[in-house]
Structure 1
Amino acid sequence: MTNPTPQPQCRALFIAAPASGQGKTTLTAALARLLRNQGRRVRVFKTGPDYLDPQVLGQAAGVPAEQLDLWMAGEDWCRERLQEAARESDFILVEGVMGLFDGEPSSADLAALFGIPMAIVMDVKGMAQTVAPLVTGLVAHRDDLNVIGLIANACSTARHRELIEQALPVHIPLLATVPRDPAIALPERHLGLVQAAEIRDDLEVRFEAGAAVLAESGLLAHLEQLPLVRFPAPAAPPPAPTGNERPLAGQRIGVARDEAFSFTYEPNLDLLRAMGAEVSFFSPLHDAHLPACDALWLPGGYPELHAAGLAANAGMKADIRRHFEADKPILAECGGLMYCLDTLTDQQDLTHDMLGLLPGQGAMRGRRGCQGMQTAVFPEGEVRAHAHHRSRAEGTPEPIGHGRRQRHPAPGEAIYRVRGLTATYLHLFFPNNPEAVARLFLPMAERQTSASTQRTETTPCN
């Protein structure tokens, strides 16, 4: 009789807050850098479908950060990613999203499900003893969370710290205080943090400054007392493959990646490769021509910040139009959709010519936007996804369908199909339904054949 494989285990900490804007990402990145500087192997995860925070957290840790979302990816997928991280790491950090109990499922749901100890980060500017009842209420709201204490962000003086610490109950210790310091704050713009690749050197300075502050705060002494967390394997094995296990074998997929297009989940790329695709990156901003490819993926990003450069790259635009006119597949998500429109009006109210593959005009709309979890309903199958944008598309053709919102009956984001182009504001999580995603990157005739021989329904998420 063989012995069962031991469950991987390591120290882990979930960093949550009562709301957005409390400093979760700044503190998580600084802690990841501090642990890394000590020679620890650290892996970082971000709760929810965020693209920007993982870019920053991955640079701080020196290892790519991943998203964990129970609705979009499912419990088994999240469990498998945490288990793999525990095998190769000394410490796992998970940053929450928005407020601790916001969303369905919430940060609290994720922390409770996997038994990860939690520290609450709170911006304490403008209050002192009031911190105590606020954090006490958060801790008392659910009895399935292991909250180890409070990190007081924007704590101005030693006296400020003393007032907070004296008011806290004994079961909620003050783990650390962090001063309000522009030198460690992370730069932001309209969709969140500035992309890490744009300010890489500046981020390095901020990470080191934040790590130095945390080293002086005494936080590590508390973390050394954390118990090891065991991460068991998923309760059910992955479903047996159906149909062709490598449906994209021989398919060359060009993926846009540069300052304008960078919102890609690494698991999406991993899945394309696992299904046999050859993935090559190209820059619609800087490359004169497309690489040799059978299909294109134009992901989200910030085309509105680079509209003039995209419009001026005539060679690239001509190559993509030829690809489209040959009825080759194109998947365009959010920023990719805007690139496919006739025009895009940027934040300075300047209008630029885009690809002209999908009739319509794109424009930024100030601070108003759309965000939320939705299921993309394609003829090829359903794929879970999310929306997050502050632009609008007008004058577009009749969509072939709409996303289905997670918790609201109103139609979600429009889904367009013109020849081989599929365009939507939704950002897809490919592993949710690999078979449907594979068909999006196949020529239309092969999609129909594939659909008749493979199941089209979404694999249920836990």
Structure 2
Amino acid sequence: MDRDAGARAVLVAAMASGQGKTSVTAALARKLLRDGLRVRVFKCGPDFIDPMLLERASGAPVHTLDLWMVGVDECRRRLHDAAREADAILIEGVMGLYDGSPSAADLSREFDVPVLAVIDASAMAQTAGAVARGLRDYGPVQLAGVVANRIASEGHAKMVASSLHDIPLVGWLPRQDQPLPERHLGLVLPDEVDGLDALLDKLADELHFDEKTWEALPLMAQSPPEWPEVKRMLDGKTIAIARDPAFCFLYPANLDLLQKMGARLRYFSPLADEPVPQDADAVFLPGGYPELHCAELTQAGHWQASIRAVHARKVPILAECGGMMVLADGLTDKDGQRWPMAGLLPGEVRMQPRLAGLGAHAMPTEQGQVRGHSFHYSSLQTPAPAQLHTVKTSTGAAGEAVYCIGSLTASYFHAYFPSNPPAIAALLGGVP
């Protein structure tokens, strides 16, 4: 495949969730990478798990693009940075192409990125043409073409191609004997999938891909973006961050910002019973899957004693979602078994089969709102009063409770740190 001076970009979208956007994006990323191209992948909308898999597929960090949470200016800067460094840019959409506000289609139009529509053709043939034209014309959006997923045979692929008329069939994937495994918050974490790289290579091998259609796409603009200066509001501070399979929901942009503000990041693993580093000036407990590791966390005596000692010393602690769950008195898993936790936040967390929170939220602070989101399958019953509530951006109603107990700030809310650096610095003991 030829390499030009510039990057081609597409937004991989579909009519709904479950069509195979992640599989197609991962397959295409790995295929282009093996062809010698420099690939950058982005994820549209709040998500922690798909980016981990796409990072494995592409070999580069995967950042979030969201017109509201990240903001138009930062999205443009990240895309233009990628266009100068890469040959191919893939953006995986969220839900259906037109779902949400802002939607993946809104992002496509804002940055003039053509859409690559993924259509699950497992139970259709010629109707794929109607779906493709509907996706193109409803908005409308610029449609680069279609990738048909779960194709039964070459004959099936030809029927789909003939139905598209003026829309090119850019590629197709056959039905997979081993699909990417999922759980209640999305895909299974990459490190939990045996032979993941072999699975990604298999997807790339089986992706029938029209290189001529790809190479006909226009090159993306490469104008140098101007990043705003970040004040060193955490200069000299050491931020201890929990990082392991139980605490893995970390936006790369959040970590980048902490470092730009002058912080030194120290990672530790509660699952491995590692205590909070003694030189920590603040602690960040991100979300993840603590409910899958209750036994290990209950038995992690050094970790529990260290977080209680840190709290007693009034060191700032910011706990998000799963990070908050492990600080309650107890966590009851999906099987109904209760596990004792660290006990900094009075009350009980209980897993439940249905979503308890989902959507974009803003958290008010003295420095202005912090943008982010909520996504959890558990509920917290606590006698502790909420210091404040986030605001649901869809309705303006009260959202997630934010608890402040001593130096602890805890909530189900996931913050996107670059949306308000001074507020994040204040939460972590810096000077806003």
- Bin for the TM-score computed over the shorter chain: over 0.9
Equivalence map 1:416-435=2 (5 Å): 416-435=403-422
Instruction: Provide the rounded CA distance (Å) in 1 between the counterparts of 2:228 and 2:36.
Output: 38
Partner of 2:288: 301
Partner of 1:148: 144
* 1:75 maps onto 2:68 in alignment: no
Structure 2: 5+ residue stretches without partners? none
* 1:206 maps onto 2:199 in alignment: yes
Helix, strand or coil: the match of 2:248?
strand
* 1:271 maps onto 2:271 in alignment: no
Helix, strand or coil: the match of 2:67?
coil
Helix, strand or coil: the match of 1:336?
helix
Q: Does the aligned pair in 1 maintain the 2:64–2:70 contact within 8 Å? A: no
Helix, strand or coil: the match of 2:369?
strand
Partner of 2:270: 284
Shift of 1:262: 0.4
Partner AA of 2:240 in structure 1: G
Shift of 1:233: 4.7
Instruction: Provide the rounded CA distance (Å) in 2 between the counterparts of 1:233 and 1:388.
Output: 35
Shift of 1:230: 1.0
- From 115, 118, 123, the equivalent of 2:115 is 118
Instruction: Provide the rounded CA distance (Å) in 1 between the counterparts of 2:315 and 2:325.
Output: 19
- From 171, 174, 187, the equivalent of 2:169 is 174
Helix, strand or coil: the match of 2:69?
coil
Partner of 1:439: 426
Q: How many equivalent residue pairs?
A: 427
* 1:386 maps onto 2:383 in alignment: no
- From 98, 101, 106, the equivalent of 1:101 is 98
Q: Does the aligned pair in 2 maintain the 1:79–1:233 contact within 8 Å? A: no
Partner of 1:457: none
Query: CA RMSD of the aligned region, Å?
Result: 1.6
- From 393, 398, 402, the equivalent of 2:385 is 398
Helix, strand or coil: the match of 2:364?
strand
Instruction: Provide the rounded CA distance (Å) in 2 between the counterparts of 1:89 and 1:227.
Output: 14
Partner of 1:187: 181
Q: Does the aligned pair in 1 maintain the 2:282–2:317 contact within 8 Å? A: yes
Partner of 2:401: 414
Structure 1: 5+ residue stretches without partners? 1-7, 455-462
Equivalence map 1:44-55=2 (5 Å): 44-55=41-52
Please list the CA deviations of residues 98-148 of structure 1 after superposition, one character each: whole Å capped at 9, or x if unmatched: 0000111111111111111221001112112222212211111124x2202
Instruction: Provide the rounded CA distance (Å) in 1 between the counterparts of 2:297 and 2:365.
Output: 29
Partner of 2:29: 32
* 1:229 maps onto 2:220 in alignment: yes
- TM-score w.r.t. the length of structure 2 is 0.95
Runs of 4+ in 1 over 6 A off after TM superposition: none
Instruction: Provide the rounded CA distance (Å) in 1 between the counterparts of 2:220 and 2:275.
Output: 49
Partner of 2:158: 162
Q: Does the aligned pair in 2 maintain the 1:254–1:279 contact within 8 Å? A: yes
Shift of 1:379: 4.3
Worse-matched range after superposition: 376-385 or 349-358: 376-385
Helix, strand or coil: the match of 2:204?
helix
Instruction: Provide the rounded CA distance (Å) in 2 between the counterparts of 1:341 and 1:53.
Output: 28
The percentage of counterpart residues that share the same residue type is 45
Q: Does the aligned pair in 1 maintain the 2:329–2:348 contact within 8 Å? A: yes
Partner of 1:367: 354
Q: Does the aligned pair in 2 maintain the 1:380–1:440 contact within 8 Å? A: no
